[in-house]
Structure 1
């Protein structure tokens, strides 16, 4: 008999709940390990029991390494989302007149306008976060432009390959037609130079039959 359908609700019996937790936890750990090995991905798994005990699995050297990577990823996603919502190139609010200058000059002029010498620790920390966000968004935009350029280049290469194939097919067809025309002209010249060549063929065959 097959297993019955499990109802998705809290198991009231404490012993049954603990047995189910132990079995399911082991199965989940096994699946996480298989996923990490088979697909060569980083997997982090954390489970807190009802008593507060921690069970964890990490495919990396430590689960903290994966959590740090996750934190950075989330911060970048938030920064990009905020930038898209505000419709600005930089959330830190660079003045428009600075956008036409180079990166180093732009940052230098921005810092001069901020007058960092008079800022306290909290303000400097906030400024540091703003500059870090600018750097992240700049890298993201640069990567986006590079990917768009790479995609355009790949499409151009595909178009060139298609054009090359088409030209080669047309040239092959032209050579085939030329060979056919040359063969036809050669055959016509042979007939013109010896119009009675075919007339002697049956006679020669008959003479050869008489000889043998």
Structure 2
């Protein structure tokens, strides 16, 4: 059988109220003990019954826990003015930021040619000056970018010329090498033939005939 949901209001029947108090008290003390053991927390629970009886639980010293609580409350109260000043400063900064955003949005719309119907002559002149300054900045930036691109292209051109020169010299050296080798071979061949002729003349005939 399903249990009925208990309404969150004072139980009028004294007996039922006492039974509920005992059950909930024991459950609360049990949960406090479990919290202190499982989570290594400093826990202190004080319960006063409707008749004035005191039930308490503390995993350390109840008095020390209470003193620690009072010390914490005092520190919070001392820090409260500083926290309020800091909070007020944040609110002021946030309001200023909202105003700046609104002004920037208005300026953006004016630069786009929107919302000019209520502008005075001075405001329109200021918008015109802003547009002219923007155009000057754009032209200057464009010119700077063009100069950088031209310098990069010139640098690439120099590199290509250097590479082309190196390749031409290398190719010319390869063409000269075979002709030089052929000349050296021809010279060496003529010298060899001359030596063979000399040696042939030296060894023809007997020694006495060579003397005559």
- Shorter-chain TM band: 0.3 to 0.5
TM-score w.r.t. length of structure 2: 0.39
TM-score w.r.t. length of structure 1: 0.39
Structure number, greater radius of gyration: 2
